[in-house]
Amino acid sequence: MKTLLITGAGKGIGYATALLAAKQGHQVIALSRNIDALKGIERINPYAVDLAEPEQIENFVAQLDGTQIDVLLNNAGLLTNTPVGESKFALYERIYKVNVFGLAELTRLVLPLMNTSGHIVNISSMGGIQGSAKFPGLSIYSSSKAAVITLTELWAEEFKESGPRCNALALGAVQTQMLAEAFPGFDAPITAEDFATYVLDFCLTGQLYYNGKVLQVSSSTP
């Protein structure tokens, strides 16, 4: 059995993946700003952490006290549907703090706890893929996810001799609360619960076949 550290585990894909991993007998360290839904679940250890706050990340990692991490699933993210003319500096900063800076800082601090055969999985978006269909209002979100893709490729190159391996999943639309809030009335073709099966399997076995790769996982976006 493996130990997985999952961010954004309080709802959506992160929550569904955490539940499935625990059901399969794995140990799950689950991070979320709100951990109410994660309390009292066997094999899930929830921690209330805001990835936009570096001190909270540092304090959390200190609490791990050397626990070995097999899989780091960087799933947490913020989505905003905001036109360019209304996208102020503070909004860019808010989104990037979670989607990019917090992801990078957590990875930096967890890296010493991961073994050479470990797997870092970064959740990106089809919107961050060059040449994919783009949508008005997603400049901040999609550009932050493009940054995640580049980080994935660079980290894989840096870790290729020592491990762990690092890959990214560029997701199309998945029916989550975050998507519904940004695009009211839009129905995605797949639920978070259904998608969790794929995500967990990739977390546990993807490093055997891929390193530094960005897999486009979508049935609806070019």
What pLDDT, on the 0 to 100 scale, is given for residue 176? 54
Q: Which CATH number fits domain 3-217: 3.30.470.20, 3.40.30.10, 3.40.50.2300, 3.40.50.720?
A: 3.40.50.720
Domain ranges of the chain: 3-217
What pLDDT, on the 0 to 100 scale, is given for residue 171? 84
Gap between the Cα atoms of 76 and 6, Å rounded: 8
Is 141 one of the annotated active-site residues of the chain?
yes
Question: 52 by DSSP, 3-state: which?
Answer: coil
CB 126 within 8 A of CB 218: yes
Gap between the Cα atoms of 76 and 211, Å rounded: 21
What average pLDDT score do residues 173-195 get?
60
- pLDDT, tens digit (0-9, with 9 covering 90-100), for 67-116: 999 999 999 999 899 999 999 999 999 999 999 999 999 999 999 999 89
| pTM for this entry | 0.91
Given the residues 15, 47, 96, 141, the one annotated as active site? 141
Lowest mean pLDDT among 27-31, 199-203, 218-222: 218-222
What pLDDT, on the 0 to 100 scale, is given for residue 222? 40
- The CB density around residue 26, as the number of other CB atoms within 10 Å, is 20
What pLDDT, on the 0 to 100 scale, is given for residue 187? 60
Lowest mean pLDDT among 20-29, 123-132, 137-146, 152-161: 123-132
